[in-house]
Structure 1
């Protein structure tokens, strides 16, 4: 069977690809298993050299790749180029920092094991299966691929069925640098993804909806294959009374309408302190009304248009108002900016991920109210806070039930390779990017060695009762002495 890649704006066929079935997926994993041994054996520096070479290929051919992303997703070429630039920064960081993060290191043994030397090391898992999304078909899957490769694993990438050409392009670019099948792409629909889950890989990295994640987890549970899952979001922006309202409005427009709203960590809800609600809304409305048609491209998949329509209709049916756009803004495959106000908190437009160029704006009594509403969601991916008082903003960020937060910006964390990315609740678990992302695709291994004969050997079937008594006295001296919390040194 063939999978067709379609231009989302015109439905023109961009390419046709053979759908990988169970046998093809398993064969790819078998090839990766052999290649993984060679790849791990190169060591950190050997892998770094090759990863940086691949990085150079991606950077040199960025316009070519951006054109393909534009064709398959509909996003503007400029946005595609930004995606590639962010991706390459992460790849560069992973390649250069893997040794520092994962190298073997000594750890303290503690008093009871003073005779033991101890070390911690991280070893590759083996083969990682990466299932990528369609909204950021380079940045998001390479958040797993780059870090998994840098950690010493081989990777089998299953790109979204809506962006297969992009995934194949990435694998082909790899093969131009490294002939061995350390990175391969298998193309297909959900059945191919299911086959990858059951193929015997050592970990699955999945990005997508919580509903699909449950199916992935069920398939992986059959073989106890671990999963790192990055899901969707219903991300909130909080605007304090002292915020720079112009900056906050520009950020809300970019976070809510950029990529046609198809950003898991974009802005879908905005909670504004009452005293500045009207001037903030006026600024945001003006920005939305000035957006040129096609500025952010069409919706990539037709079904998402129906989701946006359902959420807008539900919000209006429950008393909400469309101060910009409304049902008439939905002209598939494009959707003009939509701003909703007066929407009840139980409405679908507030509780469900819309994943379209739609923002719900609501006034709040104070920042405590804003935090409470922001956290009243089963999602917890990211959030943003706008305030001139950085300490206040940091306190709010600490209270938000999210995996990331940006202050006086949106998506700031996405450009910092050293920061891990992931969510809580229906937004996922585990982390990609940063040192945590490298460890996510590694196996921690503990090693000890005897340095000298133990002065009190209690690890023996023939232990001396007198030795045990001395050890017990030492134990009580160290741990059984209670101190008042108010005393110095407590």
Structure 2
């Protein structure tokens, strides 16, 4: 299954064609949604394909105008979206508002930069084809299916939706069953902009609906979520040779060098590990700290983390675990870390009071523990000692989590050198998750932790196909591409070739 509905939150009701949404803070039922069947998903894709013809025929300026109008509508009604987001995830208002703002920033950037990135550009011709006008442009793929994440259900899918639409595609969005209302809100907000042109549609349901979308012969699927789900999406899409963009949900690492500003590093580590109850794929799962500053750094981290309080009110540092099944995953990781010889500096197995998990800081955890190798989605931070930068790089690469790494050091040249040794998609220096607020910066993992990119120019290219055109401007002085070529032309060409490349 692509994603099974977890126990205790947004599980299907007794009728298999109805999905019930719950508030993770209280277990209170919010609303119910239809589980769209394969036939309904197919109709949505068929509608999207028809609508995409209209959308693609608009020039970049026309699409930009409507996308910016949609951006304005979301911004003006952000309060309503924040409330839906809070009710389905339990996030404090500040976190929910920040997520919406970051999503809108990406929509704005994609709309404004699509033409500059994807518009037709002239290229230099070769020496023997100087009579040709060469150009390259990028056309939309057609229909893009987006499978939404539950941990950041506005920001994460907008990294596919906004860029796919800006590139000229229509989108069928299947929000995660835990956060269905967010996806419905986004689709309905688009309908206020272009009521007769459903360029963005939402299909609702569980893993059956997601599977149907993968098999609906769309032109690309974008998925964000757990590794197991990503593998299933790839397998389903392989049946129709549908390309995929995959973003896994495991968190990244931090490296703390001997010259780091420890207060700033500790602040970044705690925020990266604990924000959104540790449910950020761009966050920090483990810190590798130089031996000479290890004890000082660990004490600062523990002191900062101890101040945090999870809860349902807006004064809480973070909210509940959104996915009820994830609590057991985090518990197993903490238990394994301690059983293998790691020790709890703050919290531990007593920190679980579902649906909340108190901050947990673990130290000296063996590298083979699932607290390090597993996908760390929870308010848990592992702090391990390393001999030097080379040791830290080796451990980060061995963990195999090719997402993001933060390096804290005053030696910027060394940081940039280290960045090139790391098998990850993003490296930040002296900050943790700030790169998520830079829409122009592409985000993508390496190897199993990411196929394709979100955001930036690469995000626009992901949802486009290349169209190269060569157009003859005048008769070539040296006619070589013909069976009637003159021997003199070939001799001249050989002479020029030796002058250009043989010296």
Q: Which band: TM-score by shorter chain? A: over 0.9
The question of 1:201 aligning with 2:223 is answered no
1:56 matched residue in structure 2:
72
Question: How far apart in 2 are the matches of 1:479 and 1:162?
Answer: 62
Instruction: Confirm or deny that 1:445 pairs with 2:461.
Output: no
Residue 408 of structure 1 aligns with which residue? 430
CA distance in 1, matches of 2:70, 2:172: 16
Structure 1 residue 477: Cα displacement: 3.1
Please, which of 242, 251, 269 is the counterpart of residue 268 of structure 2? 251
Q: Does the 8 A contact of 2:251 with 2:280 survive in 1?
A: no
Match of 2:394 among 372, 381, 390: 372
| Counterpart residue number, 1:100 | 116
User: Could you tell me how far 1:374 is from its partner in structure 2?
Assistant: 1.2
Aligned ranges 1:299-314 → 2 under 5 Å: 299-314=321-336
Structure 1, unmatched stretches of 5+, are: 482-490
Alignment match, 1:486? none
| Gap runs ≥5 in structure 2 | 1-16, 312-316
Report SS of the residue matched to 2:149: coil
Secondary structure of 2:385 counterpart: strand
* 1:461 positional shift: 2.8
Matches of 2:26 and 2:206 in 1, distance apart?
21
Deviation of 1:101 (Å): 1.0
Partners of 1:466 and 1:331 lie apart in 2 by: 86
1:339 counterpart (343, 361, 374): 361
Per-residue CA deviation, residues 67-92 of structure 1 (Å, 9 max, x unaligned), is 11111111111100000011111111
Q: Match for residue 47 of structure 1?
A: 63
Superposition deviation, residue 465 in structure 1: 4.1
C-alpha displacement at 1:8, in angstroms?
1.1
Conserved 8 A contact 2:187-2:200: yes
1:85 equivalent to 2:107? Answer no
Q: Give 1:275 shift.
A: 0.9
Match of 2:235 among 215, 218, 228: 218
Deviations 1:297-350 (A, max 9, x none): 110111101111111111111111011111110122111011111211111111
User: d(CA) in 2 for partners of 1:323 and 1:121?
Assistant: 55
Q: Name the structure 2 match of 1:264.
A: 281
TM-score, normalized by length of structure 2? 0.94
Name the CA distance, whole Å, in 1 between partners of 2:365 and 2:182.
38
Give the secondary structure class of the aligned counterpart of 2:309: coil
Q: Is the 8 A contact 1:129 1:203 kept in 2?
A: yes
| Partner Cα distance (2:417, 2:390) in 1 | 11
| d(CA) in 2 for partners of 1:117, 1:141 | 39
The answer (yes or no) to whether the contact 2:226–2:250 under 8 Å persists in 1 is no
The aligned runs of 1:417-456 (5 Å cut-off) are 417-456=439-478
Deviation of residue 474 (structure 1)?
Answer: 2.6
Moved more, 430-439 or 387-396: 387-396
CA offset digits 1:137-196 (Å, max 9, x no partner): 000001100011111111110100110010000000110111111000001111111111
Question: How many angstroms apart in 2 are the aligned matches of 1:100 and 1:425?
Answer: 30
Q: Note if contact 1:271-1:363 (Cα within 8 Å) is conserved in structure 2.
A: yes
Mapping of 1:21-420 within 5 angstroms?
21-179=37-195, 180-294=197-311, 295-420=317-442
Say whether the 8 Å CA contact 1:234–1:377 is kept in structure 2.
no
**Residue 466 of structure 1: how far off its partner (Å):** 4.2
CA distance in 1, matches of 2:482, 2:401: 51
Q: Return the TM-score normalized by structure 1.
A: 0.96
Q: Deviations over 1:445-473 (max 9, x none)?
A: 00011111122222123334443343233
Shift of 1:6: 1.1
SS in 2 for 1:120: strand
